[in-house]
Structure 1
Amino acid sequence: MRTRWKISALVATALVATGGPVAAAPPAQGLTGQHPCPGMTGYTCSTLTVPLDHRSPRGRTLDLQVAAADNVKAPKGTLILLTGGPGQPGVSLLPRLAPKLQPILGDYRLVMFDQRGTGANALNCPRLQAEMGSTDLAMPTRKAVEDCAGIIGPDRRFYTTSDTVADLDQLRKALGANKVVLDGVSYGTYTAEHYAIAHPHNVAKLILDSVVPHDGDEPLWTTPMKATGRVLRAICQTRTCPSDPVADLAAVVRARTDGSDILNALTVWGIVDPTYAGAPEAIHQARTGNSSTLDGWIQGVKQATPPEELSQGLHASTLCGDLRWPWITAHAPLPVRQLTVNAAAARLPESAVYPYDRRTAATNGVLLTCLYWPESPVPQRNGRMPDVPTLLLGGDRDLSTPYEWLYAEAKTIAHPRIVIVPGAGHSVMSRATSPAGRDAIYQFLSQ
């Protein structure tokens, strides 16, 4: 992960395909190439040019796509909506997300942008993309991860959250906004939190929807695993289930060797359908010897997703550069990494992972990806969450970002406003059938 640039047919092809860094000129201070956004009346699309390495502002650059509402003088200022992943684009999701904020768009100028490595600039790792699809926790092969790191090359280190935070501040300046309201969803909450820590005086308000704690390194994924039991039992309190789904799941996990894939499938199930229709039944059938439904779902959630919809290359680059891992040192060889992971998992009490097991903790897809990633630097964490008005939203059926994480982050905020939406899964604003979360946003932004 150094700045030396390898020129090879593979890398050159990858950069052309992914819109990688090509220029060697000072970044523009404003937005260029303005034109009406296709299919979105009242929005102008443009390009923000940022340094690939913000420590070398006159070096190579990246062009990030931006979509901004035309009400430049909106009375309550600028609202930047940050998407998740990491790896999701911004601009292409504007037509789906803007209507969710319609009641307050007369007061705010809504802005979305493609964070570096996403959308038009998506980092493209075909093999990892095929194996992971749009998921976090599926178990990738070592070959797919190492191929991806090789395609991106030494510039892997320029795709962390701190780089996106620097891009975001450059976007704020280009928009002419002294302060902004940040509305982050999922990983977007992590970006919003770290921006607020780095630039506390530039944030007017924060909305954190489906919260990832800003300092919540959890490589063994214990909180989502433990939350699975809470969510499954809550579901079976609202309808008749064939048996105790938690006991069934515990038995299935211990009879198989793919607990991480099962966790991944249930996590996606909760995003697609937070009623988890058919989930307790599929788990019970698997316990009694018929795994066809559960196996079908496991395979279904791994279906290939184009990198411009969710870049697994950016996902790996960001998480492996952002989080703290059990092996501590950046250059630990794979055998040492594996030993430290096994030891960390062995120290976990069963209650910390139930209804899963320690093997699931040691083989979750995020951990495996970074286990095989060439270098994982130890990030430096400085600062604390500023005292700005902050709304935290969560769904009580969310396994991707369980509300235990939301409450952990709320403890770091001086005056948090918390709304947990019953029956909702991941991404309350855009996906919940209940209007409670959106109404909370409208009220919060109207004050």
Structure 2
Amino acid sequence: MARMRTVAALAAALTATVLAAPPQADGTATHTPYHQKLSWAACAGLPVHGPASMECGTLTVPRDYAHPKSGELDIAVSRIPATGPGARLGSLVVNFGGPGIPGITELAERTAAGELARLNRRYDLIGFDPRGTGRSTPVDCGDLSGVTATDPAAQARQVAQACRKHSGALLRWVGTPNAAHDLDVVRAALGDDRLTYLGFSYGGRLGSVYAHEFPHHTGRVVLDGVPDPTLDDTGTALAQAAAFQHALGDFAADCASRGCPVPGRTRAEVVSGIAAAARSLGGRALPTVSGRLDRSAYLQGVQNALYSKDDWTFLREALDALREGDGELMMQLAYPGQLGVAARPVRASSWSTPGNYEMAKLAIDCRDTPERHTPAAVHALDGRFARASSVFGTSIEATLLSCTGWSPGDPASRRVAAPTAPQALLVSTTGDPATPYPGAAHMAAALANGSRVLTYRGEGHGAYFAHSPCVTAGVEAYLIDGAMPKVGAVC
């Protein structure tokens, strides 16, 4: 889950949405969305090639569940039918996080790469673009070339103004509790009594809110890379700053062992070399084909590459090229899609999603939090962020200003207690920089239903795609056979 940067709305309105009546306990629907059935057809216009069997459809949902006749939104859904062998178990809905990642495109790409093949044998894999993202009714902030401010708070205000101008009628409805209601409409349209769900990163937030809102429709749920529901924005940012600093050290140690392009033979020396390169860009910017590589872009590129150990090779290449005065690879790592404009990434990964990802993320994040920080209040945190991370502290601290100019949001997405829902399997990586390891234990306690944590001793954000046979087997054994790992299981 990339650091929560940013969604706008009124707390009272969302509270009404959260309390809107779901299907009754006997399964009958109280809103017309639950009477829908999906009509499947070939998926047209996808930016990636998915399996030939992949189909797409669209559902309509109320913009406001408390007032379902006040307007509708489209929710785009995809299906990759179960391949066999073995009896079909139903539908497995997958959310790849963000927030803002269009699930249809990501599922097509992941499945085409064979990454979900065993689950696809027994389940229809279901992708969907949550409200505000991708092919669903999207957040549109228009042409952002007019965003010229360099001060973080002033820039955030300009972006907020542009988003209100182009999507003002949508912004107050894009929060996670409404997305959880949409997810229940998807479940019903698929014909499933209970939701079987695999959520990554932000998908853990969405899945936990779903269990809170719809415990009696919750089935087998796996959350990988689990956000901490007990932290506010400042706590989340501080935890991430410390975790990214630790992840940088892990990269540095690996780089030093291979012969790193950054001066230094030890973990500490390589970290110091990476920090020195950032300082050298503080007073000048390096021209590249994609723009000017300044200190901010450099640190963003380094930070992005720490989300997956698979990207460490590309970070070494970017650092090596930078030593020769070529900053293009670092720019590609830094800005695969900045302010809604897609750029060509070094490789396809979950953070390189094209389309409206950045603006959807901003809108959803700001809608999900009531905190609005002043520059003075953020400046007062300088010492804490510097202690958390000497390299990333300042830049992560600045993200606390990203919701400046947005209407206050609502903390409903932090309410996840689901004592009557089935226990979930939470997968957490000890070296995860984006959703630090303690968050999974805190989520398990907050769910209050006996949910179990599977620990992966490794690096990167999320574990299921981290090439660990142990994690893969544990997740699939639960989703396919209902077999939970033992308490305290470690991979």
Relative to structure 1, the CA distance from residue 77 to residue 214 in structure 2 (aligned partners, 3 Å threshold; closer, same or farther) is farther
Residue 428 of structure 1 pairs with residue 463 of structure 2? yes
- 1:420 alignment partner, SS class: strand
Output the CA distance in 2 between the equivalents of 1:397 and 1:264: 19
Amino acid at match of 1:223: A
Q: Report the equivalent of 2:63.
A: 52
Q: Report the equivalent of 1:65.
A: 76
Output the CA distance in 2 between the equivalents of 1:123 and 1:27: 22
TM-score normalised by the chain length of structure 1: 0.76
Q: Compute the displacement of 1:194 (Å).
A: 1.1
Q: Compute the displacement of 1:49 (Å).
A: 0.9
Q: How many residues align?
A: 402
Output the CA distance in 2 between the equivalents of 1:312 and 1:374: 15
Identity in percent: 24
Is the contact made by 2:75 and 2:128 (CA closer than 8 Å) also made in structure 1?
A: yes
Residue 321 of structure 1 pairs with residue 355 of structure 2? no
Q: Report the equivalent of 1:174.
A: 189
Q: Compute the displacement of 1:155 (Å).
A: 2.6
Moved more, 264-273 or 250-259: 250-259
Q: Report the equivalent of 2:433.
A: 399
Relative to structure 1, the CA distance from residue 262 to residue 176 in structure 2 (aligned partners, 3 Å threshold; closer, same or farther) is same
Relative to structure 1, the CA distance from residue 165 to residue 347 in structure 2 (aligned partners, 3 Å threshold; closer, same or farther) is same
Q: Report the equivalent of 1:7.
A: none
Q: Compute the displacement of 1:409 (Å).
A: 2.9
Residue 80 of structure 1 pairs with residue 115 of structure 2? no
Q: Report the equivalent of 1:125.
A: 141
Provide Cα deviations, 1:81-114, integer angstroms capped at 9, x if missing partner.
1121111112223322333222233433322211
Q: Report the equivalent of 1:12.
A: none
Relative to structure 1, the CA distance from residue 94 to residue 130 in structure 2 (aligned partners, 3 Å threshold; closer, same or farther) is farther
Q: Report the equivalent of 1:444.
A: 478
Amino acid at match of 1:388: P
Q: Report the equivalent of 2:251.
A: 235
Amino acid at match of 1:148: C
Is the contact made by 1:326 and 1:340 (CA closer than 8 Å) also made in structure 2?
A: no
Amino acid at match of 2:377: T
Output the CA distance in 2 between the equivalents of 1:180 and 1:52: 22
Relative to structure 1, the CA distance from residue 281 to residue 63 in structure 2 (aligned partners, 3 Å threshold; closer, same or farther) is closer
Structure 2 residue corresponding to 1:96, chosen from 109, 112, 129: 109
Structure 2 residue corresponding to 1:185, chosen from 189, 195, 200: 200
Amino acid at match of 2:363: S
Output the CA distance in 2 between the equivalents of 1:229 and 1:92: 31
Moved more, 275-284 or 41-50: 275-284
Q: Compute the displacement of 1:52 (Å).
A: 1.0
Q: Report the equivalent of 1:15.
A: none
Provide Cα deviations, 1:44-94, integer angstroms capped at 9, x if missing partner.
422211011111112211121112344699653331111211111122233
Structure 2 residue corresponding to 1:368, chosen from 398, 401, 406: 401
Q: Compute the displacement of 1:301 (Å).
A: 2.1
Relative to structure 1, the CA distance from residue 285 to residue 245 in structure 2 (aligned partners, 3 Å threshold; closer, same or farther) is farther
Output the CA distance in 2 between the equivalents of 1:262 and 1:406: 30
Q: Compute the displacement of 1:320 (Å).
A: 0.5
Is the contact made by 2:440 and 2:453 (CA closer than 8 Å) also made in structure 1?
A: no
Structure 1 residue corresponding to 2:409, chosen from 370, 377, 384: 377
Q: Compute the displacement of 1:324 (Å).
A: 4.0
Output the CA distance in 2 between the equivalents of 1:268 and 1:293: 18
Relative to structure 1, the CA distance from residue 274 to residue 409 in structure 2 (aligned partners, 3 Å threshold; closer, same or farther) is farther
- RMSD over aligned Cα atoms: 3.8
Which runs of 5 or more structure 1 residues have no equivalent in the other structure?
4-24, 132-136, 328-336
Relative to structure 1, the CA distance from residue 409 to residue 383 in structure 2 (aligned partners, 3 Å threshold; closer, same or farther) is closer
Output the CA distance in 2 between the equivalents of 1:409 and 1:209: 11
Which runs of 5 or more structure 2 residues have no equivalent in the other structure?
1-7, 11-30, 45-49, 284-293, 343-352, 484-491
Amino acid at match of 1:301: A
Q: Compute the displacement of 1:119 (Å).
A: 1.7
Output the CA distance in 2 between the equivalents of 1:149 and 1:62: 17
Residue 205 of structure 1 pairs with residue 224 of structure 2? no
Provide Cα deviations, 1:230-254, integer angstroms capped at 9, x if missing partner.
2233234441553223334555566
Is the contact made by 1:207 and 1:392 (CA closer than 8 Å) also made in structure 2?
A: yes
Amino acid at match of 1:321: R
Is the contact made by 1:122 and 1:311 (CA closer than 8 Å) also made in structure 2?
A: no
Relative to structure 1, the CA distance from residue 148 to residue 231 in structure 2 (aligned partners, 3 Å threshold; closer, same or farther) is same
Q: Report the equivalent of 1:352.
A: 388
Q: Report the equivalent of 1:333.
A: none
Output the CA distance in 1 between the equivalents of 2:145 and 2:106: 20
Q: Compute the displacement of 1:185 (Å).
A: 1.2
Is the contact made by 1:67 and 1:113 (CA closer than 8 Å) also made in structure 2?
A: yes
Q: Report the equivalent of 2:347.
A: none
- 1:119 alignment partner, SS class: coil
Amino acid at match of 2:272: A
